[in-house]
Amino acid sequence: MKNQQSTQLFERAKTYFPGGVNSPVRAFRSVGGTPVFIERGKGSRIWDADGNEYIDYCGSWGPLILGHANEKVLNAVEKTMRNGTSFGAPTRLENELAELIISNNPYIEKIRFVSSGTEAVMSAIRLARGYTGRTKILKFEGCYHGHSDSLLVKAGSGLVTFGETSSAGVPLSFVNETIVVSLNNKSAVEQAFEQFKNQIACVIIEPIPANNGLLIQDKSYLQFLRDICTANKTLLLFDEVINGFRIGFTGAAGYYQIKPDIITYGKIIGGGFPVGAYAASKDIMSCISPDGNVYQAGTLSGNPVAMSAGIAQLTECLKPNFYQDLEQKTQLLIKGLSQNTKHHFKIFSVGSIFWLAFTDKDKIQSAEDILPDSMNHFKTLYHHLLENGVYIGPSGYEVGFMSEAHTKDDIDKTIKAFEIAFKSL
């Protein structure tokens, strides 16, 4: 595989950016080697700076549910752009995207657009605190909610603990407001509610945790969270930045038919542009300024170009059988991959999200169930896949995504690439 161009570009990038990148996982540290620099994409394919072609299952980490450079999205974006790229004043397009989302989603009544998933979650936490007048939040080990201070917290050693920071630069005083417990553990949550009675503003969870492997929870567990939150007047916050519009148009809330109090969105919502959102009932959203006293603002919020990309993409997602087709293709891939594996290798999936895991377990439902050693196998697999034209996120903790653009032929080729990779494992 040629990689001279990527290597040169990376050397140059290292002189400009910490680690040579603008987001850490892109540096390939967990798989080793040089990141491939992408030149262009179309449909299911991407091409790197050395001209290598890959079938892409990273999809920009989830947003590209229609594949790369979708014509409908491009046309919408171009048309909007010609009339100016930003006004900092309201536009018709914000109404259109909001109408599209809210009229097809029974779990929310009002929404606020922001510019990233991190921003959506950070604002939603402030909203939960403002609405309840409480300060503590409860999160789960193995769920990712972006990089705001209160959420860069990992579990300490006890059953119910304040976390420890997972980043330097996060003050202890922030960490002391965040309680961290294991996923799939009811008694830890019960104990937290006893210990911090009337202090927990919200419980935040990725209802289908997909940022640290794919840690599929039982519906009964999510229902348990719903019930204990209601009983304690604590808000339940579903962080659907990755699940939203991916597991069906109504995300995980619709998939499990559980109504959270606040939902955050990102990734798919912006059609490949930087958009996030948080949404809730009219009552809860009335706390947000200028209606209420929870402040939140953004110079580029509701950006017209990004809104039109979102409208174009989500309109496609609403086509009949859109999600069924994605799931069928995902199942086809999984079936093909499962036939020729002998390496304690499993593929977990929901809808069009899948996760490659080296394990003997039939279920992995908490971060502690992932063996760090298994990542060595992933590392080897990763480079064989690259060499055979398959691009997935460069970390064994990341999931893969099927897009509308993937074809049966892509899937056959992917299965072949895995066959070759497995032979050399």
Ligand X SMILES: *Cc1c(COP(=O)(O)O)cnc(C)c1O
Question: Per-residue contact track with ligand X, 9 to 38, x per CB under 6 A?
Answer: ------------------------------
CB of 195 to ligand X, least distance (A): 26
Kindly tell me the burial class for residue 315, based on how many C-beta atoms sit within 10 Å of its own C-beta (0-12, 13-18, 19 or more): middle
Buried/exposed code over 258-285 (b: 16+ C-beta within 10 A; e: otherwise) = bebbbbbbbbbbbbbbebbbbbbeeebb
Taking CB under 6 A as the criterion, the residue among 251, 266, 304, 396 binding ligand X is 266
Distance CA(386)–CA(21), nearest Å, equals: 20
Among 80, 118, 123, 150, binds ligand X (CB under 6 A): 118
**Cβ closer to ligand X: 35 or 117?**
117
CB under 6 A: which stretch of 142-150, 172-180, 249-257, 376-384 binds ligand X?
142-150
Using the minimum distance from each CB to ligand X, give the nearer residue, 189 or 269: 269
Stretch that binds ligand X, among 36-44, 140-148, 214-222, 254-262 (CB under 6 A): 140-148
Residues 6+ apart with CB under 8 A from 186: 221, 224
- Tell me the window of 117-125, 130-138, 333-341, 353-361 that interacts with ligand X (CB under 6 A): 117-125
Residue closest to ligand X, measured at CB: 117
From the list 25-33, 98-106, 143-151, 290-298, the region that binds ligand X by CB under 6 A is 143-151
Shortest CB 383 distance to ligand X, Å:
25
User: Looking at 34-42, 123-131, 144-152, 383-391, which segment touches ligand X (CB under 6 A)?
Assistant: 144-152
The answer to whether residue 410 forms part of the interface with ligand X (CB under 6 A) is: no
- Least Å distance, CB 339 to ligand X, is 31
Q: How far is the CB of 205 from ligand X (least distance, A)?
A: 9
Residues 178/139, Cβ–Cβ less than 8 Å: yes
- Smallest separation, CB 408 to ligand X (Å): 29
Q: Around 290, how many Cα atoms within 13 Å sit in the side-chain half-sphere?
A: 0
Q: Say whether the peptide bond before residue 290 is cis (omega within 30 degrees of 0).
A: yes
Q: Is 145 in the site for ligand X (CB under 6 A)?
A: yes
Stretch that binds ligand X, among 65-73, 78-86, 222-230, 237-245 (CB under 6 A): 237-245
Instruction: Check residue 209 and report its DSSP letter.
Output: -
Query: With contact defined as beta carbons under 8 Å apart, do 32 and 380 qualify?
Result: no
Q: Build a one-symbol-per-residue string for 180-209: x at contacts with ligand X by CB under 6 A, - elsewhere.
A: --------------------------x---
Token pair belonging to 72: 């409908």
Residue 299: in which H helix or E strand, if any?
Answer: none
Q: How far apart are CA 302 and CA 300, in angstroms?
A: 6
- The H or E element containing residue 223 is helix 219-231
- Cβ closest to ligand X, residue 45 vs residue 145: 145
Contact status: 211 vs ligand X (CB under 6 A): yes
Q: Which is nearer to ligand X, 37 or 144 (CB)?
A: 144
Residues 313/268, Cβ–Cβ less than 8 Å: yes
By rule CB under 6 A, what count of residues binds ligand X? 15
- The distance of closest approach from Cβ of residue 210 to ligand X in the complex, given in angstroms and rounded to an integer, is 7
Paired tokens of 181: 């417990």
Cα→Cα distances 359→238, 341, 344, Å: 28, 12, 5
Helix (H, G, I), strand (E, B) or coil at 218: coil
**Should residue 303 be labelled a site residue for ligand X when binding is judged by CB under 6 A?**
no
| Binding flag, residue 117, ligand X (CB under 6 A) | yes
Contact 305, 311 (CB under 8 A): no
Instruction: Indicate the residue among 226 and 267 with the shorter CB distance to ligand X.
Output: 267
Give the residues across from 205 on adjacent strands.
238
Is 116 or 161 the residue whose CB approaches ligand X more closely? Answer: 116
Asked if residue 242 binds ligand X (CB under 6 A), the reply is yes
Question: What phi and psi values does residue 333 have, to the nearest 5 degrees?
Answer: -60, -45
Give the C-alpha separation, 360 to 21, whole Å.
Answer: 35
204 phi, psi to nearest 5 deg: -110, 130
SS3 204: strand
**Catalytic site positions:** 144, 239, 267
Looking at residue 155, the DSSP 8-state letter turns out to be -
Among positions 48, 56, 94, 239, the unique one binding ligand X when judged by CB under 6 A:
239
Closest approach of Cβ 415 to ligand X, in Å? 27
Residues that bind ligand X (CB under 6 A): 116-118, 121, 144-146, 206, 211, 239, 241-242, 266-267, 276
